[in-house]
Amino acid sequence: MVDIEGASLNSSEIALLQRRSIGGLILFSRNYESPEQLRDLIGSLRTLRKDLLIAVDQEGGRVQRFRDKFLALPSLGEIGKVYEENTNKGIKFATLCGWAMAAELLYYGVDLSFAPVLDIQNVDSRVIGDRAFSANPKAVINLAKAYIQGMNSAGMRACGKHYPGHGTVEADSHTELPIDGRSAESILSNDFRIFAELKEYLDGVMPAHVIYPAIDDHSAGYSEVWIKDKLRQGLKFEGVVFSDDLSMEAAKKISSSKERAKMALNAGCDMILVCNDRVSALEISDWLESKSYCQSDRITRMRSVPTEGIKNLFKQRKWINAVETINSFALN
């Protein structure tokens, strides 16, 4: 899965996206100008490659790539605060937000938002913070179930991140390699437990670029212990494993881009993300094609299947009610 530079495709990107080693595209804020432009961009992508998996990070709060003329979604942490005050109201709000997020993206043709965040909330974390539902694992589980059910009811699959848990480390894996020094018991009974209890609800998982020395010397995205042993064999998880971006600083402990790709795939990742680094994306594409890697059959399951009402989304009473509810929450 790669990225593009701007609001439309250039000739080099058209060539890149037609390569057999490319199975997906992730969009960022720089790729969005307006709903009309987004529709045109998605249309050109679908004309080029109908099978391309198109994704974005549209979590809500401070991580929402499409903003202007899009519904301003609350952070998952804000949903968690509603849950703390009133459990039933929080569950309903989580379901509504999951549906609204997914429905709006599906309307414009985006397959997947990498959501929800399943990390445990910790005020010391520089990268997670209010991106997570709660500091309470049980609350995270309950709210995630509701949020995912909302996504699914619109026709979108769910990809939980950042396995087995990024929220309890202070360091930001975008800029450095975090190390979680807790005991294996603490990690497995708290962070990992969330993924274990949600395995039947998740169609995909994204491992963290975090090292957990009590369990393995490799960061989770490069770890056969975390992916093959604990996720695949232990939890019997059959969904897609997406690497987090292999161009993040935490991933660059392995200096060679091809070696990073090899380690992630050997650990059990089905699809690797290479963003904001076209040189590495091309090197990895060349390497993949020289090795005759085939796309995992699991990846096709992540393509969206929008429900019938999505075509007329903005006329739906459910959408109008969702907008009113979420906007009124933002005003309070």
**What are the residue numbers of the active site?**
174, 244
- C-alpha angle with apex 106: 143 to 103, nearest 5 degrees? 45
The answer to whether residues 73 and 59 touch, using CB atoms and an 8 Å cutoff, is yes
| Residue count (the chain) | 332
d(CA 248, CA 81): 31
What are residue 319's phi and psi, to 5 degrees?
A: -65, -45
d(CA 146, CA 90): 9
Torsion 212-215-217-220 (CA) sign: negative
**Can you read off the two tokens belonging to residue 306?**
């929008």
Torsion 279-57-179-225 (CA) sign: negative
Which amino acid, 116? P
**Can you read off the two tokens belonging to residue 200?**
């039947």
**Can you read off the two tokens belonging to residue 151?**
């996504």
Contacts of 244 (CB under 8 A, 6+ apart): 161, 162, 173, 206, 207, 208, 209, 221, 251, 273
